[in-house]
Amino acid sequence: MHIELAKDIISLRNADMGYPDRRVLTEVNFRMSEAEFCYLVGHTGSGKTSLLKTLYGALPLLDGDATVCDYDLKTIKENEIPMLRRKIGMVFQDFNLFEDWTAHRNLDFVLKATDWTDADKRRHRVEECLNRVRLSDKSEIEVYKLSGGQKQKLAIARAILNHSKLIIADEPTGNLDVKSTDEILYLLRDISQEYNAGILLATHDQRVLKKFTARVYRCEHEGIVEEM
């Protein structure tokens, strides 16, 4: 019987990351597969942000080898970075939404920006994603009227619009209460399985790490180690 192995969506081999004048992480080795959920932890300044920015092309790879969603970060051209980012869904602590726009308009804007030219297809996709995060009834509500948990659900809907194979969540529950935090974690784990998407979640929340167990990687001493 043939068993198909999960495909790597992140592969880092002896990778150095940081800034041209300062290496923050050195000789990093890390792999993550489709549908895998991993945590990234570490104190402020340990390199988490440098790692995440390198993965989505905001910082250049300084040395070593790195592949993300089939793009080689060593050879990627500047005009290819937007295509890489279409394969990556980003979820931030502060939501990064247009507060005065409706939930629907926020998502439709992203689809327009990523070359969805057919209005009917855009509307259908927006409705699909809002339904998936249980915000169908909030479609025409301005974002500033939503709760923090609802805003983060909308941000997750935005992250899956283009069928992302990797979702990078940077402290996505930092501004939420315990109930909303748990709802977001359950949602992300379900989406990981349904969409076969890898999720890399940076967090400081020890309660989350204990309740929603997964592989944990810690940034420390200019490197990354797996916590056992």
- Residue-wise pLDDT tens for the chain (228 aa)? 544 567 899 999 999 999 989 999 999 999 999 999 999 999 988 999 999 999 999 999 999 999 999 999 999 999 999 999 999 999 998 999 999 999 999 999 999 999 999 999 999 999 999 999 999 999 999 999 999 999 999 999 999 999 999 999 999 999 999 999 999 999 999 999 999 999 999 999 999 999 999 999 999 999 999 997
> What are the tokens at 72?
């080689």
Which DSSP category does 70 fall into?
T
* pTM for this entry: 0.92
Beta strands in the chain (DSSP E): 8-19, 22-33, 37-41, 63-68, 71-72, 88-92, 166-170, 198-202, 215-220, 223-227
**How are the residues of the chain apportioned to helix, strand and coil, as percentages rounded to the nearest 5?**
35, 30, 35
Domains of the chain: 8-227 (3.40.50.300)
